[in-house]
């Protein structure tokens, strides 16, 4: 989608991000709280929090964001912790743009790869399709990790 622009996180983004996370209906209350904790940590401590954000804005409105950061005790591995796009604008390339923005930033910081952990349950099929179509490869799977029938799936992409 043209005219979406990626920028860093500001304190004004907290409320729109909260609304966006709830609007996706992809996360339970505990997950919503964790998503906001990451925002608060980043706003309080900046990059010292270990959480980096890219916010997608369209016509002045927050329409998506992603949160990622260096994986402790690794050389050049980054975890993608969160990605969400306003349901009204999903399927128009905003998620892809956010992923590519995070990848470019990781590359610039000397990172080698991005790792994503997600759920294997049927309701996450669209999310997995999004990662796969964005050149992430399934590299591992822990059967029944989150719950019986809900694997933990690891996706990876090399960025350098």
Residues in the site for ligand COA, rule: CB under 6 A? 24, 26, 82-85, 90-96, 118, 126-127, 129-130, 133-134
Taking the least distance from each CB to ligand COA, the nearer of 95 and 101 is: 95
Q: CB 78 → ligand COA: shortest distance, Å?
A: 15
As to burial, measured by CB atoms within 10 angstroms (0-12 exposed, 13-18 middle, 19+ buried), residue 96 is middle
Instruction: State the Cα–Cα distance between residues 63 and 36, nearest whole angstrom.
Output: 16
Q: CB 71 → ligand COA: shortest distance, Å?
A: 16
Three-state DSSP class for residue 130: helix
Q: CB 75 → ligand COA: shortest distance, Å?
A: 25
Residue nearest to ligand COA (CB): 95
Number of Cβ atoms within 10 Å of the Cβ of 15: 12
Instruction: State the Cα–Cα distance between residues 157 and 160, nearest whole angstrom.
Output: 9
Taking the least distance from each CB to ligand COA, the nearer of 58 and 76 is: 58
Taking the least distance from each CB to ligand COA, the nearer of 91 and 143 is: 91
Taking the least distance from each CB to ligand COA, the nearer of 78 and 130 is: 130
Three-state DSSP class for residue 122: helix
Q: CB 82 → ligand COA: shortest distance, Å?
A: 5
State the alpha helices, DSSP H only, in the chain: 14-24, 29-45, 94-108, 125-133
């Amino acid at each position: 989608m043209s005219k979406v622009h990626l920028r860093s996180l500001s304190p004004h983004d907290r409320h729109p991000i909260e609304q966006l996370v709830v609007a996706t209906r992809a996360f339970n209350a505990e997950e919503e709280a964790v998503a906001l904790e990451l925002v608060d940590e980043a706003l309080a401590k900046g990059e010292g929090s270990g959480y980096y954000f890219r916010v997608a804005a369209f016509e002045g409105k927050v329409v998506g964001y992603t949160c990622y950061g260096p994986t402790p005790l690794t050389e050049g591995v980054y975890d993608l912790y969160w990605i969400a796009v306003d349901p009204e604008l999903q399927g128009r390339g905003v998620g892809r743009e956010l992923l590519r923005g995070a990848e470019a930033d990781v590359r610039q910081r000397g990172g080698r790869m991005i790792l994503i952990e997600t759920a294997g349950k049927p309701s996450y099929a669209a999310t997995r399709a999004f990662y796969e179509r964005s050149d992430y490869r399934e590299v591992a799977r822990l059967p029944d990790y989150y719950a019986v029938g809900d694997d933990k799936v690891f996706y990876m992409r090399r960025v350098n």
